[in-house]
Structure 1
Amino acid sequence: MRDFLLAFPALFSIVNPLGGLFIFLSATQRFHPTLRAALARWVAIYSFVIVTASLYVGAYVLTFFGVSVPVLRVAGGIAIALTAWGMLNAPDPEPGQDKSTAELPTASTASRMAFYPLTMPLTTGPGTISVAVSLGTNRPRNIGEGQFLWFLAQMTLATLLLCAIIYLLYRYADGISRKIGPTGTAVIMRLSAFLLLCIGIQIFWNGAAELLASVH
């Protein structure tokens, strides 16, 4: 299980679903709980698709379109920073707001929001994609003796476990928020949005530094 023990901690640390649940809650705080549960399910599904595709064909796709990993980081960092800035300046929900009056967007709007920005870039952004691409390049070249299939099985298991954790934390984010309390939740959501802004700038700078270094 060497590949699993390498992949799961690496993906879990970069996705950070524990911190992401408050970002998810902040982005969906005005939505009906039923819709929030559906969004959590779709975010987990989209995350599985993105991570799996990045693991197996991510490097080939980037090469085909002529996109380097530093450019991916620059673009993703800008997207994350802009989204985090909007969340950081979003108004707080009214205390005691009736959930029956919460927004209930159409199915098409909810589906689009589940992919962007909740899945990409907030949950599985450019950092996750670059880590998954790096993990995928370590696959065994020899497909004999079941080594390649065993590698695929371990990578798929790590991705499934990660996405199951994402779904459970996002699905019950409202309940976790109630245990913390409204004041604590508001503070954590603002801090999470600010940290996400810092992460976006850091991802942008990492990509920009690599691009600048390549000029020389």
Structure 2
Amino acid sequence: MNLLSTWIAALLIVPATLLPILNPLGKVPVVAALVAGQPPQIHRRLARQVAVNCWFLMMGAYLIGSHVLAFFNLSLAVVQLAGGILIAVAGWRMLSDQQDDTIQKAVASTCEQGWSEETLKVRSFYPISFPLSVGPGTISAAITLGASTPTRLKDWLLTVSAAVLGSFIAVLAIYLCYRHAARLVALLGRLGTIIVLRLSAFILFCIGIDIAWRGVTEMLGQLPK
């Protein structure tokens, strides 16, 4: 019974830690803009591919993230700074791109042909999977969780198996939100969608600045006094 309760606790801590950072519902307007005009089957395939990508990113960070950083002699602060800059740049581009009002055009557009398989794979990874969905904040949290796993084989297997299932719960939320992104955005209407997308772009820019600033602050704190 004690073993089961330990496993359940390890299972719950992963989605409880990662889901608030992932915030898939808050990313819905941005995802809807990126896939606007694509047929429903592309939305389904994209959501599935993004979920798979995010699971591998999170589990990779959980299992080997700390070892990779140690191998390249990098700190979490550097990861936060670089990832924050990427997110901020993506948000700034959405905010500053006024040519033909890209967002409005995306919301209003229709498309007879869907993306090719190659295009879908590329766009599902960047920018949707990384850094929009699994960004430096999620990677940092996953690395921290992975670094605290026990060293004894039996306990390690127990904890990792719980983490695998826990991360699956997290990416299931991503899949459901992204799969129905167009439907959720449609409830807002065209004008509401454009407003939410602009606000989401600004929030995305702010998130990037915040993550980068945390990295800078941590690096400054490591300087010798």
- TM-score under structure 1 normalisation? 0.91
Question: Structure 1: where are the runs of 5+ without partners?
Answer: none
Greater displacement, 186-195 / 104-113: 104-113
Greater displacement, 44-53 / 175-184: 175-184
Give yes or no for the alignment of 1:127 onto 2:137: yes
Identity percentage over the alignment?
33
Listed one character per residue, the Cα deviations across residues 149-183 of structure 1 (whole Å, up to 9, x for unaligned) are 22112111110011111011101111111122222
Tell me how far 1:94 sits from its aligned partner. 4.1
Match for residue 113 of structure 1? 123
Match for residue 195 of structure 2? 187
Match for residue 155 of structure 2? 147
Listed one character per residue, the Cα deviations across residues 10-40 of structure 1 (whole Å, up to 9, x for unaligned) are 1001100110112211222244443232221
Q: 1:52 aligns with which of 40, 47, 59?
A: 59
The amino acid of 2:93's aligned partner reads: G
Greater displacement, 65-74 / 104-113: 104-113
Match for residue 74 of structure 1? 81
Match for residue 178 of structure 1? 186
The amino acid of 2:176's aligned partner reads: L
Give yes or no for the alignment of 1:166 onto 2:174: yes
Tell me how far 1:212 sits from its aligned partner. 1.6
The amino acid of 1:110's aligned partner reads: L
Listed one character per residue, the Cα deviations across residues 52-88 of structure 1 (whole Å, up to 9, x for unaligned) are 1111111001111122111111110110000111122
Greater displacement, 37-46 / 11-20: 37-46
Tell me how far 1:185 sits from its aligned partner. 1.8
Once residues 86 and 105 of structure 2 are traced to their aligned partners in structure 1, the CA distance between those partners, rounded to angstroms, is: 28
Query: Compared with structure 1, are the counterparts of its residues 104 and 52 closer, same or farther at alpha carbon in structure 2 (3 Å cutoff)?
Result: same
- TM-score under structure 2 normalisation? 0.88
Once residues 198 and 67 of structure 1 are traced to their aligned partners in structure 2, the CA distance between those partners, rounded to angstroms, is: 24
Question: Structure 2: where are the runs of 5+ without partners?
Answer: 1-7
